[in-house]
Amino acid sequence: MDLLQLQYFKTVARLGHMTHTAEELHVAQPALSRTISKLEKELGVTLFDRVGRQIK
């Protein structure tokens, strides 16, 4: 786990949308999704419920 993963997690949690988060952080959406997935694997838990394009 690193600070970048935590920053991404915090922003996704606040905005509730991967695309909006990627735009705000100026990163590609696939890279953001991979980073969140990697964090979930490292922690061994699902951090977000994905409902279509929404994140809860």
**How many independent structural domains does the chain possess?**
1
Determine the Cα–Cα distance for residues 13 and 47; give it in Å rounded to an integer. Answer: 9
Domain range for 19? 3-55
Looking at residue 32, which CATH number applies to its domain?
1.10.10.10
Determine the Cα–Cα distance for residues 18 and 24; give it in Å rounded to an integer. Answer: 10
Tell me: pLDDT of 46 over 80.
yes
DSSP symbol at 45: S
Q: What are 2-41's pLDDT values in tens digits?
A: 999 999 999 999 999 999 999 999 999 999 999 999 999 9
- Sign of the four-CA dihedral 15, 12, 9, 22: negative
pTM score: 0.87
Count Cβ atoms below 10 Å from residue 12 Cβ, excluding itself: 23
Residue 45, phi then psi, degrees to nearest 5: -140, 155
